[in-house]
Structure 1
Amino acid sequence: MELHSKELLGLGMILLLPALCTSQYDFTSSRATYYGSPDCYGTPRGACGFGEYGSTVNDGNVAGVSRLWMNGSGCGACYKVRCKIPQYCDDDGANVVVTDYGEGDRTDFIMSPRAYSRLGRNPDASAELFKYGVVDVEFKRVPCRYAYNILVKIHEHSRNPHYLAILVLYVGGINDITAVQLWQEDCKEWRPMRRAFGAVFDFENPPSGQINLRLQMNGRADWVLLRRPIPGDWEAGAAYATDIQFY
């Protein structure tokens, strides 16, 4: 299966619903603000390197984070955020996906206007929250849930056969990717890919032919093998389905 950039963007808009009920963490107190956006969605230039996927994933309910960034491994994580002004704030709050890095006035979350508005109990209440600019919130990590398997997207800067950069998209559950390796057939060994920035991993002069990958996830002692390799004729902007998902 090969998906090109427009198809990938469509997939990003289909379904990303962070679970609302289960979490391994309690709520943590913090602060949140929002950034300007003419269409209220996210930004395709976020520090995670997600491109257009990062602006529309989760229907544009996204956020940049500061201390939750974790050197880029926090990219793609899902959080429930709810504000703490009783007369204005909705009890369910907003569910956001991390697509960017940002720092504000002692804030952990810099949210898209679309996500920030969901903190309010109704449109009038949301308008009042925008006047505050920065609000006290509480947040917790929640699992991401998708209706399809993890995808590996070839970053637009890649050039076959000299340079390969990838993003691993739609990682479900509560799993952060901490490392990626590819199989070097001539040496019979796994070689580490470099975290170039955000969620982008790269490799100079990758092996010819099929590219086999494995992932290291936080909380797991074993490596996760993606048994569907990237084909040898891979091209920049394409996305390839894997055989795995986490719940």
Structure 2
Amino acid sequence: MLENIAGGACGYGDLKQQGYGLQTAALSQVLFNNGQTCGACYEIKCVNDNQWCKPGQPSLFVTATNLCPPNYSLSNDNGGWCNPPNEHFDLAQPAFLQVAEFKAGIIPVQYRRVPCKKVGGIRFTISGNPYFTLVLVWNVGGAGDITSVQVKGDKNVKWTTMKRNWGQKWETNTVLVGESLTFRVRASDGRSSTSWHVTPKNWQFGQTFEGKNFK
């Protein structure tokens, strides 16, 4: 388990500033699922290694924020840890040290999906231009990983379904400038959350707005 890169394949920015800190993981290709797992939370325990596991098998709770890319020039059990079909978590060193000794490098783990506990509401960071709007959805509680995003301006009756650009960045060519925006997100567990009129009419690209989170 090597140190992962801030931001990365999920589209998140400064992980520390966004509240994810070092409790994050880059997932192997199988777990990453083309970015659909971005934002999901896991409980990880070091198991079956008395030499390197921390006593008592403490739990580590992490959010999936990046991809650990495969390295096909190395075998799956000797350097190609993130090659399919391996289920592998690439951790930042401070996170790794919570469950195992640093010298171990690679450890066997048990893991499971757990609900994400986040402070405050879902955040929507808007970028792009008047004819192409890109929205990063982050700080998502509950299931954590978003499977669909819809947006509606205050002048529109109909919802616009956004397309996944990459990770948790969602795009639309619908012109939204000058309207107060409402976002509806659906998580992988099927639950939806609607954040009504989270932006003022004069919102600007580069701004972040806070909506209603999952419990």
TM over 0.5: yes
TM-score by length of 1: 0.71
- Between stretches 103-112 and 196-205, larger displacement belongs to 103-112
Distance in 2 between the 1:191 and 1:114 partners?
41
Structure 2 unaligned regions, length at least 5: 71-79
Distance in 1 (alpha carbons) for counterparts of 2:141 and 2:52: 31
Equivalent residues of 1:145, 1:173 under 8 A apart: yes
Q: Give yes or no for contact 1:152–1:168 (8 Å, CA) kept in 2.
A: yes
- 3-state secondary structure, aligned to 2:159: strand
Post-superposition shift, 1:65? 0.6
Which residue of structure 2 lines up, in the alignment, with residue 109 of structure 1? 89
Query: Which amino acid in structure 1 is aligned with residue 167 of structure 2?
Result: G
Deviations 1:147-183 (A, max 9, x none): 312111124xx22x22211111111122431111112
Q: Aligned residue for 1:16?
A: none
Contact 2:40 2:145 in 1 (8 A): yes
Give, in angstroms, the shift of residue 204 of structure 1: 1.8
Corresponding residue number in structure 1 for 2:13: 51
Partner of 1:86: 50
Equivalence map 1:125-204=2 (5 Å): 126-129=101-104, 133-155=105-127, 158-159=128-129, 161-183=130-152, 188-204=157-173
CA contact under 8 A between 1:43 and 1:54: conserved in structure 2? Answer: no
Unpaired segments ≥5 residues, structure 1: 1-32, 36-41, 121-125
| Matched-pair identity in % | 26
Task: Look up the equivalent residue of 2:52 and give its one-letter code.
Answer: Y
Pairing partner for 1:228 from 186, 197, 208:
197
State the TM-score, normalized to the length of structure 2. 0.80
Quick one: distance in 2 between partners of 1:110 and 1:54? 17
After superposing on structure 2, the runs of 4+ consecutive aligned residues of structure 1 that deviate more than 3 Å are 54-58, 184-187
Count of aligned pairs between the two proteins: 196
Contact 2:181 2:196 in 1 (8 A): no
Distance 2:214 2:154 in 1: 28
